Structure 1
Amino acid sequence: MGHDRTGREPAGRERADRKRPGRERADRKPPGRERADRKPASRERTLQRRRGHGFALLATGVLLLGGVACGGGQDSAGGQKEEKITIGLVTKTETNPFFVTMREAAATAAAKHNAELIALSGKFDGDNEGQVAAIESLVSRGAKGILVTPSNTTGILDAIEDARQQGILVIALDTTTDPADAVDATFATDNFEAGRLQGAYLRAVLGDREPKLIMLDGTQGSSVSRQRHDGFLKGFKLKEGSPAIVGRADTNADQNTAQAALESLLQRAGDANTIYTINEPVAAGAHAAVSEAGLADQVTIGSIDGGCTGVRDVKAGKYAATVMQFPVRMADDGVAAVAEFAKSGKKPSGFTDTGTALITDKPVKGLKSQNTAWGLERCWG
């Protein structure tokens, strides 16, 4: 979550942001099973809904790899052309550097597999409605597989099930759904472990000092936010509700929101000495807040992401450590899985951990880490 929100919008992008309330389900049936009470079929139902209410899709272009998807035809030598498949990618946002990197990696991988990639996103971290609209758009465009980083890990389930019932392979990247088997497979960071590594490092740095911790979390309803939060407490050796936690705020993984939240928290918890952050944009906001408050020498900040900007921030001393994750691996594995499914019908399953690495120039005893030089060579690779 994998992220600076001020990034330039890449050319050739399209965002699906038609607002439609996410559908919460009280009786989700196992994937792949037809529902007796779904009449008409989900595709026809979606078309009827669009006819009645209109289908709004903010279009800024579509990212197409390998040309326009089409059926088999003849090449210039008279041979049969290989049929191209369409692969959809739905990220939480389009400007977050983590998802920009994922999108670029997916584009490269799609070209290698002679596929067309359509990349869509929500308008902000937590935009479930936009992601639901994006999945429905990809279904109507004939996607063979959809890769999705869910903003709301339960609110998106109905749209995912609709896609799977129509024979589309759905893979979660970066963020697990709840339940995890709502998708065919997941390629992601072990987010509990990423949080645990940050927590263990910051607790070791604290030494014998009494902890006074502020926690800057992500988005309500996000499995990533919950898993990293819980993992951090495990590594830091604290229980939820401990008086050592002197402040907490949700930041929607946004730098400006994090800075404003921490500035407010520091007004009543000016003796804080440790700050947990959900990701590197939040860590950047935290650094700005503690610097303006004159507390930079008092507070130790940790984070998760491992982007090149984040690793440089660790090198510059803005925060003490970050836990690197690998969105390129997620995208590569996801695209390859859809290509294999199109070729052989073989589906991936279960959870694949794409890896973590603690990055710091101030290692602590008993905790494996890599320095920033190592991190800059491999950031998000």
Structure 2
Amino acid sequence: MKRLTTLSLAATLACAATFATAADQPVIGLITKTETNPFFVKMKEGATAAAKAKGAKVIAAAGKADGDNAGQVTAMENMIAAGAKTILITPSDSKAIIPAIKKAQAQGVQVIALDSPTDPAEATDALFATDNYKAGVLIGQYAKAALGGKKPVIATLDLFPGHPVGAQRHNGFLSGYGLQTLDAKSNELAKPAEVVCMADSFGDRAKGQTGMENCLQKNPNINVVYTINEPAAAGAYNALKAAGKEKDVVIVSVDGGCDGIKDVMAGKIAATSQQYPLQMAAMGVEAGIEYAKNGKKVKAGYTDTGVTLIAAKPVAGVESSDAKVGLNKCWGNK
């Protein structure tokens, strides 16, 4: 009987220790725009790995599609109920998500934006992201140099109206090309005369292909295509190839994902601005652990996580790295 009592006590203490450890484990929420975009898939992997290495736990969720604000709001509420003290979010709707963020902050939850800012950006405790305007400038400069002295006939495959990241990349591209544009603070899309077609791709390959097909119907002389990301660029390439025009058009994009860099190697994309979601995720997890353990909030404001132009071929006057460098760094740290 004494031995059984001793064993029972040991088991009870072991269980208590387990529960104590679980209770002490920092819980960090990660809400991305979608579960399918490779960029966000890698961000989730990076956050989960970084948390595991430091004894924290990541709860991940996403909207059904880019622009699904209701799904992100529900995810945020569920994460707070599950004990998350920090939530990392890539906002689908930069304005509509703000009431949910304020509600979370009122309950003592730290909210950090990754990749995409809210509108206004000050609504979150911090932002870890690429300088998306600069990313656009780099590919604009490249496209202009690659086209040489030819008159640009441009199609843009954008995200969707009103999204700050979509506007920053679009307007940055035009700035890099030396065309009339808007500044980095605008959420509107500039349309100088050189842009003959604009289509919303929602960052999706199929929608990108449809958008490019429609643009070719409007103007078959398009010779430059800007795309919001590499899945949209892949769709654009498919449409151009089907029309027999893939060799006559300079396609530029943003993200620098592994599949996108392979498309650069294959000559489908001329150049892309590479960003680093693993770095964003790791920084967010670090900040979440610090807040959970010490109550110290992240330093407010914007932290630039870097961007590098990756190009199939170098062009005069534009600094770039080759696709081999891009493949070694794709989705990783700068």
With structure 1 as the length reference, what TM-score do the two structures score? 0.79
Quote how far apart the aligned CAs of 1:244 are: 1.0
Quote how far apart the aligned CAs of 1:117 are: 1.1
Distance 1:283 1:83, change over 3 A: same
Q: Does 1:186 align with 2:137?
A: no
Amino acid at match of 1:258: G
Q: Does 1:290 align with 2:231?
A: no
Matches within 5 A, 1:3-82: 73-74=16-17
Distance 1:127 1:81, change over 3 A: closer
Query: What are the Cα deviations for residues 307-363 of structure 1, in whole angstroms up to 9, with x where unaligned?
Result: 111111000001101111000000000000010111222211110111100011311
Q: For residue 225 of structure 1, give the secondary structure of its aligned residue in structure 2.
A: helix
Q: Does 1:331 align with 2:274?
A: no
User: Which of these residues, 295, 303, 325, is aligned with residue 374 of structure 1?
Assistant: 325
Percent identity over the alignment is 49
Query: What are the Cα deviations for residues 239-258 of structure 1, in whole angstroms up to 9, with x where unaligned?
Result: 13322111111111111011
Q: Does 1:312 align with 2:312?
A: no
Q: For residue 220 of structure 2, give the secondary structure of its aligned residue in structure 1.
A: coil
- Greater shift in the superposed pair: 175-184 or 361-370: 361-370
Higher helix share: 2
Quote how far apart the aligned CAs of 1:196 are: 0.7
Distance 2:163 2:312 in 1: 31
Q: 2:101·2:123 contact (CA, 8 Å) conserved in 1?
A: yes
In structure 2, the partner of 1:156 is: 97
Mind listing any 5+ residue stretches in structure 2 that lack a counterpart? 1-14, 181-189
Q: Does 1:258 align with 2:220?
A: no
Q: 1:216·1:276 contact (CA, 8 Å) conserved in 2?
A: yes
Q: Does 1:102 align with 2:43?
A: yes
In structure 1, the partner of 2:313 is: 362
Query: What are the Cα deviations for residues 110-149 of structure 1, in whole angstroms up to 9, with x where unaligned?
Result: 1122112110000001111111111111112221100000
Q: How many pairs align? A: 308
User: Which of these residues, 241, 244, 253, is aligned with residue 303 of structure 1?
Assistant: 253
Distance 1:360 1:81 in 2: 47
Distance 1:289 1:223 in 2: 27
Distance 1:291 1:191, change over 3 A: same
Q: 1:125·1:219 contact (CA, 8 Å) conserved in 2?
A: no
User: Which of these residues, 16, 22, 34, is aligned with residue 93 of structure 1?
Assistant: 34
RMSD: 1.6
Query: What are the Cα deviations for residues 157-185 of structure 1, in whole angstroms up to 9, with x where unaligned?
Result: 00000000110010000101111110000
Distance 2:276 2:67 in 1: 22
In structure 2, the partner of 1:61 is: none
Amino acid at match of 2:272: T
User: Which of these residues, 155, 158, 163, is aligned with residue 222 of structure 1?
Assistant: 163
Q: For residue 17 of structure 2, give the secondary structure of its aligned residue in structure 1.
A: coil
Distance 1:82 1:279 in 2: 40
In structure 1, the partner of 2:172 is: 231
Quote how far apart the aligned CAs of 1:302 are: 0.5
Q: 2:153·2:222 contact (CA, 8 Å) conserved in 1?
A: yes
Displacement over 2 Å in runs of 4+:
72-76, 79-82
Distance 1:82 1:159, change over 3 A: closer
In structure 2, the partner of 1:246 is: 196
In structure 2, the partner of 1:145 is: 86
